[in-house]
Structure 1
Amino acid sequence: MIWISFVAYTVWLAPLDRSYTWDVGYRLITFRWGEINAYLLSIFWLMGVWPLIYASLMLVDGRMQPFRVWPYFIGSNFTGVICLLPYLLLRQRNQTFNGTMDKWLAWLERRSTGVMLLFTAIALIAYALIVGDWADFVQQFQTRHFVHLISLDFCLMCLVFPITSLFDDDMARRGISNRAVFWAVALVPLFGPLFYLCWRSPLQKTVSSPTRITDTQFQ
């Protein structure tokens, strides 16, 4: 219902039909950030942090799924929950990992990666609070479809993380059974998942009999 509702709402608002959307996009990619409200700029880049948070769970989980995870991860960098939720709905519950990790998975597994994402989020939020104009952002949220949708997308990224089985399975895969950990992560939007990435047990310690997976299994 979340996915259907948000897709329908996005199509109805049609932000790509608005000249303002392309103007803001041009300023973002040409680094003309001084012309953009810091709150919008921070949310835009936090929507790049969120896919990496999900990737830290999804790409390990995706090795054990009957379909590829990469299209959903790449799509989530551009459309947020619109591409993310189909994976979370289609995946089969799995609490094991058999195989070897490539360099990309090894990078996502590092606690230093979680720490980097945590400090990036802190810096972006601090920048918004210090430099941003909240009243102007509220006005843009009410009148600009792009700002409205990207803000809702950010909130949905926070909401979805604890309510699907992906987070539960990652905890079980690492031998974490304390429900207090789950609630501590679930009840603190954005920073709960980031602290989890900094704290969680390494995956290697919970794999009992690693074997090299075949190309068929990977797909």
Structure 2
Amino acid sequence: MSRKVVLWLIWLGFVAYTIWIAPLDNPDTWSLGWKLLTFQLGKLNAIIPAIFWLMGIWPMIYACLMFFDGRMQNFRAWPYFIGSNFTGVICLLPYLIFRESNQKFFGAKDKWLTILDRRSTGFYLLLGTIALLAYAAILGNWEDYIQQFFTEPFVHLISLDFCLMCLVFPLTSLFDDDMARRGINDLRVFWAVALVPLFGPLIYLCFRPSLPETNTAQAFSF
């Protein structure tokens, strides 16, 4: 079964699950969302804001690959990146499904691409992730979280969304293509990243080689 078929099935399954089984049209959803957006942390189990903010880390991890890829595609990565910050895999997966595999990068890096290409960006994302997980581990109530997971649609869906973000990363050819652009041909690197959810991609961003810039005119000359 091809990767795109698997990604289609994940997308369709999660959209259907969100609409019919765990809909968000619940008064408690908006109350919980407002507390998260206004940082009313004292009224929340620490695990919930930690997962919520980790769902901001994941789009940035994907952005560090998507925006180099997006320049070489027939459509831009921006709308999907912005949408993924609000809806997670529901907006991210269409980009991963419709993109074509491309292992080349042409042209110069602008300021945004330069930031995404820096190893320091990966380190900042890694430190933020460690801080959020430590916050959840120290101050969180796991028994209460499990109860909310089964009773609160919002908590249920962002938790599943987080897991799907982890699952999708090695399934898409986006990761393979980024490795190839940077001259990484070792399958051990792929599996080391793929088999360690969240931290595998973060460590990859911390240590991957910088992407060389290519003069567009030279790249297309024969």
TM-score after normalising by structure 2: 0.92
Which residue matches 2:3? none
Pick the aligned partner of 1:105 from 105, 110, 113: 113
Which stretch shifts more, 23-32 or 189-198? 23-32
Paired positions, count:
209
Q: Aligned with 2:216: secondary structure? A: coil
Percent identity between matched residues is: 67
Distance, in Å, in 1 between the alignment partners of 2:106 and 2:38 is 43
Alignment of 1:59-98 (within 5 A): 59-98=67-106
Which residue matches 2:32? 24
* Cα shift readout 1:9-45 (whole Å, capped 9, x = no counterpart): 0011454311111001111111111111111110000
Q: Aligned with 2:73: secondary structure? A: coil
Pick the aligned partner of 2:16 from 8, 11, 15: 8
Q: Aligned with 2:24: secondary structure? A: helix
Which residue matches 2:171? 163
Cα pair 1:15 1:21 within 8 Å, conserved: no
Pick the aligned partner of 2:141 from 130, 133, 148: 133
Q: CA deviation at 1:210?
A: 2.3
Distance, in Å, in 2 between the alignment partners of 1:210 and 1:135 is 56
Pick the aligned partner of 2:182 from 167, 174, 186: 174
Q: Aligned with 1:188: secondary structure? A: coil
Q: CA deviation at 1:137?
A: 0.1
Unaligned runs of 5+ in 1: 213-219
Distance, in Å, in 2 between the alignment partners of 1:14 and 1:159 is 20
The amino acid of 2:187's aligned partner reads: R
The amino acid of 2:215's aligned partner reads: P
Distance, in Å, in 1 between the alignment partners of 2:33 and 2:97 is 30
Tell me how large the CA RMSD over aligned residues is: 1.0
Distance, in Å, in 2 between the alignment partners of 1:150 and 1:86 is 18
Cα pair 1:10 1:149 within 8 Å, conserved: yes
Pick the aligned partner of 1:211 from 204, 209, 216: 216
The amino acid of 1:211's aligned partner reads: T
Which residue matches 1:144? 152
Distance, in Å, in 1 between the alignment partners of 2:131 and 2:56 is 14
Q: CA deviation at 1:58?
A: 0.2
Structure 1 position 54 matched with structure 2 position 62: yes
